Structure 1
């Protein structure tokens, strides 16, 4: 028998009042407005499908039979039960017998009996259990809805872990909390536990008379976060105890003091504030202490660890950024990044100090403070910025005493104020093609002298340079680029282009011994050429496809005017790759440009086969009419000799080789290399990662730079290999290991190996780590590490994956 009744809105109490016993309610709708329905029923209707249903006055009684339970559906909620009784006049209802209630969020409540009274304000569930949409489970002997704001569970158990195995049989959760009473107070936006026991694998490990956690509806709430525990030879045993204080929905503070057994404490702070049109995040840290590090006190060639030196003084850091994006084309922001000690981040293990915020990024071990504004429309872009840089890089390593490392001088880095970039494209085609106009301007000022590669070989002073002021320069550039595409009937793609550029430079404060006056320089470059490509596709057996994409470029420019008085600011680091090989200006920035006739050719071969598997290989090279000796820089360890870091100085460039492969959805690889004319690898980078089983993972990467041909203390060649992986040996138990090896120095710079437990509920790691990074003033560090991540409770730990 099926009964469909149109009842008062109060008749829906069975559905959503019981759901309130399972978890915090979603924010209410406007007073008097019924919540939206997702089942096609009117908002005030209840659909009942039962073996038997009767109505006696204001009381509706329905029941199922031996084969199936009755079904009641309203406002997106489904109720299954053996018996249902509801009094329309009193607003009370009782559901009995294998009660199962599902709300629109797919949270399911189970009970042997549910009683509801007083229009949703009171309710009782017996033998209560629920599994929430985030995978956690709650069970209780009784669940009582005291009011619209307060729910109470008696003799309850909570676990974020699975409670059934793959066959559906019950199993002991790896983490659970049992409590005599659990109260959810929505006014306090908290869940309160009384007489609670935390169990790991069913074994009690911690008893707490009372504690509280935020309500699930709260994105964040004030309270202690998971502590961070580790050991460092410089600081000793270290524990960090973060505390989050939520000021408002748009503002919070994170206070995270670090307590150390061998040095004074260090206080970390973070403030976040969200405004109507932007956000500000500010991090900082402070201590009042001596420095500490490794010194060879007895002269035996070995440094003694954790030696205090210097006077106690204030030591601090600031890492702040803000971004604002009001309505309209303009947006603006800033970063403020400074630290009092060059090694403060390393000594106190400050997490993630080098972040990419703002319009311009500081590279590894450099901090940038900037202000900027941008204006962007569909056809134009303008940015104006100013910034300064603080370097934490080591310029010369002390072989015995790391605390005596010499760092890069900040006065040799430029103050950039301003830096302006602009682009504009007309809406309509010009001569059938796309026209783009660009503009750029910059002013750079240095306090102290710096030699190559900022100064070219031709004007490097031969005498002492200590105390010389830095070279200042200003540049204004205007550029126009036009390009049009033609496709022949045979499918050949032609793109003729024309590119012209005019630079104006002002250079001052050149070294006095050079007898060069402050000067203003102008130069221009005009380039015309054509790109030609002809994609070829061939289908192979099955679903495989082979694609060959040959590409060629012929360009002619006027002879390059590379005045040696123009400092080299933009092209100090450059790596030729597939994306830059076919550019008109292959070198970054504006310092250098290429002239004369050039021919560039390359081809990419791609194989696609079943289930998204793919392999690709690119090979390309460029040739020019004449070599360009200006692209050769002075070797830092012997300024009388030069080398070619760009791979573009000769008539034939380096070969560019780049490839990727993914033979399955569990294996991926990528590689890039530049190879000179003699077949020697100048630079290369390879990476590969793989997964097997359900959670076993491994990754390897390799990077090498052999561009500098002369060994010496200033040689920046490097060669690193990095490995990481985890292998589960028995159930949820496994091992994890990672390491970074410096092949140039034949040294493992960083390594760790540990034991781990990982299931769907939590992950715990304990192991041994060793750090041989030379930048650390405290030298080699080794000791135990502990990492803990709990489902629904957050985590602790640290990660260091970058190569240095």
Structure 2
């Protein structure tokens, strides 16, 4: 009790004395910020003007806190001296530990002996034989060490550190500079630089080098990538990545990103001088890349583009920028106003297939689409819509075609007292085509397409005692379209492939484009089921078939839509929170044969995550798919502990009994680094892109070349018995 009283009295007396002494030392009122001092014991010498505080001393000033075993203040020199377990905490969050210090009264300049500093909320640490604070901006450390890694008793050496003769931490520029720097890994020196610098760990974006990517590939040889990141402004940046491959040459990978208030633009462009034969005789410039942009112009108007191109077929695939064999580019402007829309689109396709000449693909020509919907007081009410669409295709070799279409449609829904949902609908469309460079279809062609139908839905809902809800909804549609419309004189450009599944079971027309139309009289019959459980479980199911009263022979046999009864299509889905996702889809013939089947699933339960799929698709020569497809894929990851992670994926073509792809990786991550060793195998060999194995190493140094903190470290303090 006596001690507490004495300490409180000491606080009051010393604080008053410190305020007096500090105030007398400054004539400038702007430098006389309030000071608080707490100590167990104090003394003051009127002869020397020195205040000495001992025993758990604490000084507070301008958001800074200084603690030590002993602190003395010389009012004549306006200096503070601290000794014994000194700790200085700044208003920016830095913490400095030292054996002793000689500072000015504002803690802004001075010399610190045996300094250790923690910056960016503990993201990184310094240690130095001596540190000097200069101009309240620079921390100059002599014979110093920098590392964001934690050190435990069982492993006293950090994973990595930088030792330097001098380290300068510029707090205004928020950058750390090194002179005569050595880079150590697990205590062993692996590199030296006379000078280099990197952003301070708390900086989110700063210009500088990023961690390298080192790989070895069977096609291009040994490769090294060294990204250089450039901050352009608060909304845009550029990354330049030189990629040097021993067999092929060099590539400069460029990435430009910019964010707008209502959009963005991302460009990934790659320029190289490479030789696929590795003999130096075919070295030439090659260019390719991708881009995406979206921008809102206001009032529901959006514009943008998607870009994909290459100067030669194998360039993007050889260096693993893509595995596509066709590159689709598009530019558009679209407007949406409630139910109304308008759009102008320009598209282009580049083929990377060796047996598909580019001259046989269409040149870029605009397409337009307009739609207007309104409520109508006549025809029993409902919605009335009008549409206008058009486009053209021109080829250097092959058929040219142009089309313009105009249509109107009406629909109205009513709900009976018993809950039955009835909808009537009708539409009509006129098409005009002009075809050239095709002896079979040369000239103009016209057609008129009326259609009418009715739909009935009856949703049933059931609540379980567990709180779960079930919803079952049977659906029946009857649709009629004349079967004698003119289809034979119309070129088929946009309706070649037809994929019949539960997603388009209740469509009035299962052709994807304008050139072909589903005609005749038919009924779409099926049901949908949903179960929602508050415990986290969810289940869905859907299925049905098409009954045809007239068979117009419009679909290929592989589409599953021929005959009086179509194939049965259905799907099942099961989910549990974010830990389980399972789905199955199938198209089954009336002889109970699978014409298409797909099973996929994702499961997560720490420390394991798994995903996989099975796919089977019947051959469809009318869609230029001459072989059956049967594929399997399995992948997953295993977290061995807080630091180690294994991951892998394998894909296999079951029809040809060969692997498609295989990849595996081992990753170690702690609070200061992530190291990944990976291997990728490409089994899809072509003349220009051989079957190859790529093995690589990626290193990320948190606090120096990457995000400053990923996870905290836990030291093991177990002792032997």
Q: TM-score range by the shorter chain?
A: 0.7 to 0.9
Query: 1:301-316 maps to which residues of 2 (within 5 A)?
Result: 311-316=282-287
* CA displacement at 1:745 relative to structure 2: 1.4
* Cα pair 2:309 2:350 within 8 Å, conserved: yes
Q: Are the equivalent residues in 2 in contact too, given 1:270–1:281 (CA < 8 A)?
A: yes
Structure 1 contact 507–565 (Cα < 8 Å) conserved: no
What residue is the counterpart of 1:147 in the other structure?
135
**CA apart distance, 1:137:** 2.8
Q: Which residue of 2 aligns with 1:39?
A: none
Compute the displacement of 1:504 (Å). 1.6
- Answering whether residue 462 of structure 2 is matched by residue 502 of structure 1, we say no
Is the Cα contact below 8 Å between 1:136 and 1:162 reproduced in 2?
no
Alpha-carbon spacing, 1:207–1:375, altered in 2? closer, same or farther (3 Å): same
How many Å apart are 1:312 and its aligned residue? 4.8
- Aligned pairs for 1:436-455 (under 5 A) are 436-448=385-397
Match of 1:630 in 2: 554
In the alignment, is residue 375 of structure 1 matched against residue 289 of structure 2? no
Q: Distance in 2 between matches of 1:562 and 1:91?
A: 100
State the partner residue of 2:352.
392
Partner deviation per Cα, 1:462-485 (whole Å, 9 max, x = no partner): xxxxxxx31413232334343435
Q: Is the 8 A contact 1:372 1:383 kept in 2?
A: yes
Match of 1:130 in 2: 118
Question: Are the aligned partners of 2:408 and 2:429 in contact in 1 as well (CA < 8 Å)?
Answer: yes
Matches within 5 A, 1:337-352: 337-347=308-318, 349-351=319-321
Could you tell me how far 1:739 is from its partner in structure 2? 1.7
Deviation at 1:139, TM superposition (A): 3.4
Report the Cα offset of residue 518 of structure 1. 0.5
Q: Could you say what secondary structure the match of 2:488 adopts? A: coil
Contact 2:585 2:597 in 1 (8 A): yes
- TM-score normalised by the chain length of structure 1: 0.71
Alignment of 1:19-418 (within 5 A): 99=87, 101=89, 109=95, 111=97, 117=104, 121-122=108-109, 127-130=115-118, 132-133=120-121, 136-141=123-128, 144-154=132-142, 156-163=144-151, 173-185=158-170, 190-216=175-201, 218-246=203-231, 252-272=237-257, 280-288=265-273, 290-292=275-277, 311-347=282-318, 349-351=319-321, 353=322, 364-393=324-353, 406-418=354-366
SS at match of 1:630: coil
Query: C-alpha separation between the residues in 2 aligned to 1:123 and 1:392?
Result: 66
Q: Alpha-carbon deviation of 1:213?
A: 1.0
- Distance change in 2, residues 1:781/1:555 (3 Å): same
**Equivalent residue for 2:459, pick from 512, 528, 534:** 534
Equivalent-residue separation in structure 2 for 1:49 and 1:621 (angstroms): 85
Asked if the contact 2:198/2:705 (under 8 Å) is kept, the reply is no
Within 2, Cα distance between the matches of 1:595 and 1:224?
62
- Which SS does the other structure have where 1:587 is aligned? coil
Gaps of 5+ in 1: 12-43, 293-305, 355-363, 394-405, 449-468, 633-642, 797-804
d(CA) in 2 for partners of 1:63 and 1:549? 80
CA contact (8 A) 1:480 1:499 kept: yes
Give the structure 1 partner of residue 713 of structure 2. none
Kindly report which structure 2 residues correspond to 1:612-651, keeping only aligned pairs within 5 A, or say none: 612-632=536-556, 643-645=557-559, 647-651=560-564
**1:548/1:603 contact within 8 Å kept:** no
Relative distance call for 1:45 and 1:312 in structure 2 (3 A) is: closer
Give 1:762's match in structure 2, choosing from 659, 673, 680: 673
TM-superposed CA distance for 1:388, in Å, is 1.7
* 2:612 equivalent in structure 1: 700
Following TM superposition, by how much is the alpha carbon of 1:523 offset from its aligned partner in structure 2, in angstroms?
1.6
Deviation track 1:568-604 (CA, whole Å, cap 9, x = no partner) reads 2333334333332223333323233334444333334
In the TM superposition, residue 687 of structure 1 has moved relative to its aligned partner by 2.1
Match of 1:576 among 494, 500, 503: 500
Q: Displacement of 1:743 after TM fit?
A: 1.3
Mapped to 1, the partners of 2:508 and 2:90 lie a distance apart of 63
Shift of 1:494: 0.8
Q: Do the aligned partners of residues 258 and 409 (structure 1) sit closer, same or farther apart at CA in structure 2, a change above 3 Å counting?
A: same
User: Structure 1 50/120 Cα, relative in aligned 2: closer, same or farther at 3 Å?
Assistant: closer
- Give the SS at the match of 1:346: helix
With the length of structure 2 as denominator, give the TM-score of the two structures: 0.78
- Partner residue in 1 for 2:415: 486
Say if 2:382 and 2:410, in contact at 8 Å, map to a contact too.
Answer: no
Query: What secondary structure does 1:779 align onto?
Result: coil
Q: 1:660 aligns with which of 553, 570, 573?
A: 573
- Superimposed CA distance per residue, residues 72-118 of structure 1 (whole angstroms, 9 cap, x where no aligned partner): 7998x9999889999999998899967485969xx563636888757
CA distance in 2, matches of 1:415, 1:186: 56
Structure (1 or 2) with the larger CA radius of gyration: 2
Inter-partner Cα distance in structure 1 for 2:470 and 2:624: 47
Query: Could you tell me which of 741, 762, 772 is aligned with 2:652?
Result: 741
Aligned residue number for residue 554 of structure 1: 477
Structure 1 residues 193 and 677: CA distance shift in structure 2, 3 A: farther
Are 1:718 and 2:629 counterparts? Answer: yes
Structure 1 residues 329 and 544: CA distance shift in structure 2, 3 A: closer
What is aligned with 2:714? none
Deviation at 1:771, TM superposition (A): 1.8
Q: Hey, what's the Cα distance between the residues in 2 that align with 1:669 and 1:94?
A: 68
Instruction: Give secondary structure in 1 for the equivalent of 2:504.
Output: helix
Cα RMSD (Å): 4.6
Structure 1 Cα separation of the partners of residues 65 and 486 of structure 2: 77
Distance 1:612 1:170 in 2: 43
Looking at structure 2, the residues matched to 186 and 228 of structure 1 have their Cα atoms a distance apart, in angstroms, of 30
Aligned pairs, how many?
673
In 1, Cα distance between equivalents of 2:263 and 2:538: 42
Q: How far apart in 1 are the matches of 2:248 and 2:36?
A: 70
Distance 1:532 1:653 in 2: 21
Aligned residue number for residue 446 of structure 2? 521
